[in-house]
Amino acid sequence: MANLSGKVAIVTGAGQGIGRGIALRLAKDGAIVIITDITGKENEVAEEVRRLGGEGLALRLDVTNGEMAEEVARTVFSKYGRIDVLVNNAGIYPFKPFLEMTFEDWYRVINVNLNGVFNVTKAVVPYMVRQRNGRIINIASVAGAVVGFMGLTHYSASKAGIVGFTRALALELTRYGITVNAIAPGAIRTPGVEAGAEEQVKMLVNVIPMGRLGTPEDIASAVAYLASDESSYVTGALIIIDGGWTIT
């Protein structure tokens, strides 16, 4: 367990899946967790955090809305006096062949996955600069950042963009004691994945050297490390967590 006692952490897209796993893990490690989402499930996760004995605050946040992101940041800073950790997790991955993709399809994915990271980071960074300390952790993907996947050109572009954003921002913010890192998950057992055909899940497992899908907890463990003081010399990094999938 990382020691995150008293740290204030904002997690986007935390109502389910990887985001929920991250929020629960940070709470177990002692962080005050702000669970943000637009689904309404953020309230359920905040209640889970409280049942664990932690402090969780649910706030509605549409990451595509920069003004809403700024309001969330103001609310958190006003209540707790600091923002120590930001986990940009919110994202969507609708499969669509490129030849069938509309302008709306493309813009929607880019707006949520990439512009959303910019919006929330832009809202939070001034508070981290003020306190001369902070941890920003962006959830990318092996798609785009490491390999390509058919039917996911928009998603892959957005996730590759997140990696470029991470590396460039890390250079700018290191002087303020802020680290910026990214995690690239492979196939993770989430509600979205489990909703797919059982045969597709079996095919995925067959090509993963470790012989299983990852779990939200696998990603959350890396987030906890990057959020802690133990990672103080790590910035601009991309941690690939895929069970060996992309090295085969």
- Model pLDDT for residues 70-127, shown as the tens digit of each residue: 999 999 999 999 999 999 999 999 999 999 999 999 999 999 999 999 999 999 999 9
Domain boundary assignment for the chain: 8-190+216-239
The pLDDT value recorded for residue 217 is 97
Cα separation of 88 and 11, whole Å?
6
- Model pLDDT for residues 141-183, shown as the tens digit of each residue: 999 999 999 999 999 999 999 999 999 999 999 999 999 999 9
Cα separation of 112 and 161, whole Å?
12
The answer to whether the beta carbons of residues 226 and 137 sit under 8 Å apart is: yes
Question: What does each C-alpha distance from 106 to 6, 38, 121 come to in angstroms?
Answer: 40, 20, 22
Q: Is 155 tagged catalytic?
A: yes
**pLDDT band at residue 196 under the 50/70/90 scheme:** low
- Percent over 90 (pLDDT), the chain: 92
- Model pLDDT for residues 65-85, shown as the tens digit of each residue: 999 999 999 999 999 999 999
The answer to whether the beta carbons of residues 37 and 60 sit under 8 Å apart is: yes
The CATH number given to 8-190+216-239 is 3.40.50.720
Instruction: State both tokens at 118.
Output: 């910019």
The answer to whether the beta carbons of residues 59 and 37 sit under 8 Å apart is: no
pTM of the model: 0.96
Cα separation of 29 and 135, whole Å?
15
The answer to whether the beta carbons of residues 128 and 134 sit under 8 Å apart is: yes
E strands in the chain = 8-11, 32-37, 55-60, 85-88, 134-139, 178-185, 238-241
Among the listed residues 155, 176, 225, 233, the single catalytic one is: 155
